[in-house]
Amino acid sequence: MIGDAGMHCAARQVASFSAAMLSNCNPMHGQRRMHGSCVSRNEDAILILGPSASGKSDLVLRLLSCGFDLVADDQVDIDDGIASCPPALAGLLEVRGLGIVRLPYRARARLVLIVELARPADRLPMPRQHPVLGLPVVGIDPAAASAPERVALALDCATGRISQVAGAFAA
C-alpha cells in the first residue's frame, strides 16, 4: 500500500509532466512548441503528431528499439527547423502501463519529416507539406506491425537516401 507521501509524490510527478504540455502549436518567442513526439536518426529528426492517446509514445518506444534516438515526448520545441525538448521533460518517455521513464536522449536534431498518425493510412498518398513548418508529411498507422519500418523508410525517402516511384515523396 502506498502511503500519503507516496501518493503526493506521484501526483507531483504527473502534475510536473502535465504542466509542460501546451496546445498543438504554440508560438514561443520565435519558436514553436508542439504537442507531439520526436525521434532522430543520423541527426535527422521526425516529428510525430496525433491526438492524445493515438500511439505517439508507443511508436517512439518501437522506433528506439530500431536504432532511433529520443529527442522529445509529448512536447517538442522547434526553433528554425531544429527540434528539442523542453528542459523539464528532457529524456522522459511515458510508457502506458509502466509509467514515465528516463532514457538517454539527443538534445537537438534537424527536422526533416512529419509523421501524422492515421488509421488506416492512405495506400498511395499524394505528396503533402505541413502548413506551418513546410516539411513533408506522411500518414502512418501506428498499430501496423511494420509502422517503425515505414517511418524509417519515409525518413530515407525524405532525405533522398531512397527514391520513390509513386506516393508521398514522388517527384
Catalytic center residues: 35, 56, 74, 123
Exposure pattern of 98-117 as b/e (b: 16+ CB <10 Å)?
eebeeeebbeebebbbbbbb
Cα distance between residue 113 and residue 67, in whole Å: 17
Q: Give 122's DSSP letter.
A: P
Amino acid in the structure at residue 33: R
Q: Which residue has the cell 515523396?
A: 169
Distances (CA, A) of 1 to 9, 51, 53, 140: 14, 34, 28, 41
Cα distance between residue 85 and residue 31, in whole Å: 12
